[in-house]
Structure 1
Amino acid sequence: MSSIENFNNTYRDSSLVPLSEEYLELIFKWRNSSRVRENMFNSTELKWEDHLQWFDNLKKQENKFHYVFLHNKTPKGFLSFHRAHEIENSLNWGFYLGNSNEKKGLSYLMGMLGLDLAFNIIKVNEIYAQVLENNFKSFRYHLQLGFNLESKELYSKNEKNYYLFKYNKNNWEFKRNMIEENLKELFNEIFLYRK
């Protein structure tokens, strides 16, 4: 599990905190919701024992990073990275908000925190995202955050088709402020700075 401590940025009361036992039950509930499962490669409902085993295994793995996204000190989402073994100095990411009725724009704030963390703290060069072909919201989300679609061809995994997106650090450094400004216009209630 990651040794990186809580990651905060300049947005009002938002942070990524390493996954701990305190959040296990909540993450289990979120992960087993039909809304989250239908957009995962493994869409089977988890048993509590399997969830605990998964968490125990994380403690032994240095190539995976799991965070709970807090907004106004309240858990709102889950974000994970794991090393893309076939590509040096890169990560795959995955994430979800816990509830579907969160404020508009919250997922983008979580994404920006995650990209800042990956590129500036974990220090990777590339982030990859695998988006299931029928997950149109996630497809649009990745484009709005500035990811590039690697190919119009679909890939396949666990008998599910997906699109592959990629972000490299140089692009993030170049695009970050512009993306932030665009998101502020769309979601100004979320993208307010601390005073």
Structure 2
Amino acid sequence: MNPFNSYRIRPMLEDDLAMVLQWRNSDRVRTNMYSEELISWEIHCTWFSRIQKSDSIKYYVLEHIDKPIGVVNFTDIDRINGMCNWGFYIGDNEAPRGSGTALGFLGLVEAFEHLHIRKVCAEVIAFNDASLRFHRKLGFTQEGKLFRHVWKNNKYEDIVLFACFSDQWAALKEKLLIAYS
């Protein structure tokens, strides 16, 4: 049995923009992003138009029983080297417990099984303990650290680099399905 059956990801649509902007501008989401600047509607719409035209960026909405609750994205998709970066967040404050794991699982299914990515890379601000644990739980390996890399909280913060590879995915997928069944 698949413990994530009540979840699905789908491409982000123009109809999602107001909701996604609200999530992205929430304090809870912004504090863990590189930039904490509030995003205007105009900038948000320009961003969406740009990503719709790009082959190197894919944004998806996570739904739980048809209710949008989060976002997962793949950026800097490099088809030659089979790599990308990913990002994600649960936007809905009332999302069921376990939604983050579902988002990660389905995001990796999309990356490895549909986009045919070889290596998914992640950058995590070092103070974000939840995201550090999350990546390790999903089977990511720490590849390095960028010291004093981004300005946050009135100081330069470190960035922890993670990666997950497609040749590890089958075993990781089985392990996650068993652990969360």
Would the TM-score normalized by the shorter structure come out above 0.5?
yes
Structure 1 pair 84/161, CA: closer, same or farther in 2 (3 Å)? farther
Q: CA deviation at 1:154?
A: 3.4
Number of the residue aligned with 1:181: 178
Measured after TM superposition, the shift of residue 104 of structure 1 is 1.4
Matched, 1:106 2:99: yes
Alpha-carbon contact 1:69-1:75 (below 8 Å) kept? yes
CA contact (8 A) 1:93 1:127 kept: yes
Checking the alignment, whether the CA contact within 8 Å between 2:3 and 2:177 is kept in structure 1 is no
For 1:183 and 1:14, the matched residues in 2 are separated by: 13
Pick closer, same or farther for the CA change 1:55–1:156 going to 2, 3 Å: farther
Residue in 1 aligned with 2:164? Answer: 167
Q: Which residue identity is paired with 1:180?
A: L
When normalised by structure 2's length, the TM-score is 0.89
SS in 2 for 1:167: strand
More strand by share: 2
Q: Distance in 1 between matches of 2:63 and 2:8?
A: 5
Change (3 A) 1:120 1:156: farther
Counterpart of 2:154?
Answer: none
Mapped pair 1:143 → 2:169: no
Tell me, which stretches of 5 or more residues in structure 2 are unaligned?
152-156
Residue of structure 2 equivalent to 1:14 = 7
Alignment RMSD, CA only? 2.0
> Where in structure 1 are there 5+ consecutive unaligned residues?
1-8, 185-195
- Secondary structure (helix, strand or coil) at the match of 1:83 reads strand
Q: TM-score, normalised by structure 1?
A: 0.83
